[in-house]
Amino acid sequence: MKPWHRYTICILLGVIGGAGLAIAQVRGAGSQKQITNGPWTTNLDQGTADASALTRARVALFGLLALPAKEAMYYSARTDSDGAPLNGACTYTVKGGELDARWWSITLYKGEGWLVKNEANRWSVGGNAPVRDGAGNWSFTVSPEKPEGLWLPTGNTPAFDLTLRTYHPKGALLSDPTKAKLPTIKKERCA
């Protein structure tokens, strides 16, 4: 084999191996700034000047279009409050109270930031939608079939995640996100 063949093979293997490693890093777990609060996780670097190249790549890949942290905080849930993966064949109740933000929304995605196709053409619930009780608590259902009340359809996707966006966050959402009071996700039943 001629030397230039060996060099070409080595360069190609290096490029392919490096690209594979880069993709694995970006798609893999978050950075050291990743925090968890119940089923919700967030990266404290998102939307800050301190964000690493890896954090910026993850934001670009998953399409969050992260605003500065003082304008919006983003939380993702891939499990219910008991730690089981979210399953599109199951019914969940999402319950919460007043969030320390000007406005919030919860959006349902299937992997890598894609919205789930569903007949209702509904993908999120906003802070003004849920009916609240006297204490300011609210709830809605996430399920494949339409129940009574407010509903976010799963479209029977095998797995999904929920993204909570809080706009103009304040209080614990900014100062100590690990202690902020975030919604619970309770599995009711599975088909």
**Which strand (E) or helix (H) includes residue 115?**
strand 114-115
* Model pTM score: 0.76
pLDDT in tens, 16-42: 888 777 767 666 655 557 788 999 988
Dist CA 146 CA 159 (whole Å): 18
Owner of token pair 């809080």 = 166
The DSSP letter of residue 136 is S
Contact 163, 42 (CB under 8 A): no
Q: Residue 182 has what pLDDT? A: 94
Cβ pair 162, 86 in contact under 8 A: yes
Evaluate whether the domain defined by 32-190 bears CATH number 3.40.50.920. Answer: no
Alpha-carbon gap, residue 175 to 160, rounded angstroms: 29
Which residue has better confidence, 117 or 52? Answer: 117
What are the sequence ranges of the domains in the chain? 1-30, 32-190
Please tell me what DSSP assigns to residue 97.
-
**Each residue of 38-75: pLDDT tens digit?**
999 887 766 555 666 666 666 656 555 666 667 888 89
Poorest-pLDDT segment among 96-105, 113-122, 163-172 = 113-122
